């Protein structure tokens, strides 16, 4: 496939897909068939149970903000979400405690280091960001459990994103619990610094459970679509994440979501994303769609080889890099700003409604 002079790649041979009645579906199927031939990479084996995956599994799903879901290949094959859960847990921790309290425990700087590195600020012990293990363990430990167990809350949160009941792969959980000494060591360091307020064992158990939640590529696409859609699940209409935290979560996914490939990823693909060693990648094009790709063969940084290839191709074939904004459509977005305390509609309001507007109108812009 040839690049044109601007470096844009043509989207598939004879363009027959573009003329078909179902162009997105046809495109995904062709892309899937083409990339299924890639067989580089290796299964994650430091969690022994993950080696039971089939090297051939490969699914792609795309869910738009208007609720259409397109799928190709093994898009309904369950696998464990692993590090992609870090994004969901971060959103929940933000909802539970607000930005400042979470920032006090976990930073937002890319570490440039491997996902399991001990990337802590030397003076405070604060993990650099919530997308690496150290930051994720600290984040997960923040999930409230005063009303309901934290795991139930995590599962319920996932269910809001995916629109279906979620469960754990108990064998993968047990396997990581058995072998996860490095994560446990990180948790002890965090406890020593006072970043963790729970016991390290409790925190890592919850973290291992969250990593063992079973998802499909289709689920990842829907999760991404919620984030593309201001936090609202486009199929069910349920709020998966409060709108005010969506940009914050997408920001850390953009800078830190692909471990020590985050810079190269945002350069090449240009979409906030999160990957996991189960072989999943969840990518988001804000305002447009969520993309879920699953293939368990990983590169040396722990990212799915076919998953990266698929996302790179989709981004390139359609010119979807988020900074690739056509000038013609980019009229200034912010022209003047009012809130509803200062400017009211002309509709007649009851005294009670006016009181609410007086108190809360400053939040409407």
Between the alpha carbon of residue 98 and those of residues 37, 76, 103, 193, 242, the distances in Å are 45, 34, 9, 21, 11
Among 110, 231, 272, 276, binds ligand GLN (CB under 6 A): 276
Residue 259 designated active-site: yes
Between the alpha carbon of residue 91 and those of residues 55, 173, 195, 198, the distances in Å are 32, 22, 18, 19
Among 63, 211, 246, 271, binds ligand GLN (CB under 6 A): 211
- Using the minimum distance from each CB to ligand GLN, give the nearer residue, 116 or 254: 116
User: Rounded distance, CA 207 to CA 95, Å?
Assistant: 18
- Using the minimum distance from each CB to ligand GLN, give the nearer residue, 183 or 233: 183
Q: Which secondary structure element, helix H or strand E, spans residue 249, and what is its range?
A: helix 243-256
Among 111, 116, 175, 295, binds ligand GLN (CB under 6 A): 116
Q: Closest Cα partner for 285 from 212, 363, 225, 360?
A: 225
Tell me which of 69, 86, 105, 275 is the catalytic residue. 86
Site string for ligand GLN, 236-275 (x = CB under 6 A): ----------------------------------------
- Using the minimum distance from each CB to ligand GLN, give the nearer residue, 203 or 277: 277
- Using the minimum distance from each CB to ligand GLN, give the nearer residue, 45 or 358: 45
The reply to whether 119 sits near ligand GLN by the rule CB under 6 A is no
The reply to whether 320 sits near ligand GLN by the rule CB under 6 A is no
Q: 304 — phi, psi (to 5°)?
A: -65, 125
CB atoms within 10 A of CB 128: 21
Between the alpha carbon of residue 178 and those of residues 47, 61, 171, 175, 237, the distances in Å are 9, 33, 11, 5, 39
Residue 278 C-beta: closest distance to ligand GLN, Å: 7
Tokens of 63: 């869910």
The reply to whether 58 sits near ligand GLN by the rule CB under 6 A is no
Among 83, 139, 233, 295, binds ligand GLN (CB under 6 A): 83
Q: What is the CA radius of gyration of the chain?
A: 21
The reply to whether 220 sits near ligand GLN by the rule CB under 6 A is no
Identify residues 298-317 at the interface with ligand GLN (CB under 6 A).
302
Residue 79 C-beta: closest distance to ligand GLN, Å: 11
User: Rounded distance, CA 217 to CA 63, Å?
Assistant: 10
Residue 277 designated active-site: yes
- Using the minimum distance from each CB to ligand GLN, give the nearer residue, 133 or 262: 133
Tell me which of 70, 161, 245, 259 is the catalytic residue. 259
Tell me which of 27, 207, 245, 261 is the catalytic residue. 207
Identify residues 152-181 at the interface with ligand GLN (CB under 6 A).
176
User: Rounded distance, CA 117 to CA 22, Å?
Assistant: 44
Size of the site for ligand GLN (CB under 6 A): 11
Residue 207 designated active-site: yes
Active site residues: 83, 86, 207, 259, 277
Binding site for ligand GLN (CB under 6 A): 82-83, 115-116, 133, 176, 183, 211, 276-277, 302
């Amino acid at each position: 496939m040839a690049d044109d002079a601007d470096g844009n790649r043509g989207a598939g041979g004879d363009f027959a897909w573009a003329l078909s009645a179902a162009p997105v579906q046809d495109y995904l199927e062709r892309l899937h068939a083409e990339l299924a031939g890639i067989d580089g990479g290796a299964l994650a084996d430091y969690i022994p149970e993950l080696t039971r995956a089939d090297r051939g599994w490969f699914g792609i799903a795309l869910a738009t903000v208007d609720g259409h879901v397109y799928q190709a290949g093994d898009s309904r094959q369950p696998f464990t979400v692993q590090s992609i859960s870090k994004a969901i847990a971060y959103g929940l921790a933000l909802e539970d405690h607000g930005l400042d309290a979470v920032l006090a425990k976990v930073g937002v700087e890319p570490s440039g280091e491997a996902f399991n590195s001990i990337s802590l600020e030397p003076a405070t012990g604060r993990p650099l960001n919530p997308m690496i293990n150290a930051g994720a363990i600290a984040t997960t430990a923040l999930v409230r459990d005063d009303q309901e167990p934290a795991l139930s809350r995590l599962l319920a949160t996932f269910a809001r994103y995916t629109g279906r009941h979620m469960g754990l792969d108990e064998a993968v959980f047990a396997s990581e619990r058995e072998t996860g000494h490095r994560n446990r060591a990180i948790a002890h360091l965090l406890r020593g610094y006072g970043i963790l307020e729970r016991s390290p064992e409790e925190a890592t158990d919850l973290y291992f459970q969250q990593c063992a939640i079973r998802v499909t590529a289709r689920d990842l696409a829907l999760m991404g679509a919620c984030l593309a859609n201001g936090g609202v699940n486009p199929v069910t209409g349920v709020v998966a994440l409060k709108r005010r935290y969506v940009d914050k979560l997408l920001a850390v996914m953009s800078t830190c979501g692909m471990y020590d490939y985050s810079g190269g990823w945002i350069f090449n693909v240009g979409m906030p994303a999160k990957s996991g060693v189960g072989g999943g990648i969840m990518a988001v094009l804000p305002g447009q769609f969520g993309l879920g790709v699953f293939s368990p063969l990983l590169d040396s940084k722990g990212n799915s080889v076919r998953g990266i290839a698929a996302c790179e191709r989709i981004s390139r074939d359609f010119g979807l890099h988020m900074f690739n904004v056509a000038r013609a459509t980019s009229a200034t977005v912010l022209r003047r700003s009012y809130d509803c305390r200062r400017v009211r509609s002309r509709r007649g309001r009851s005294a009670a409604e006016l009181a609410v507007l007086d108190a809360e109108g400053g939040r409407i812009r």
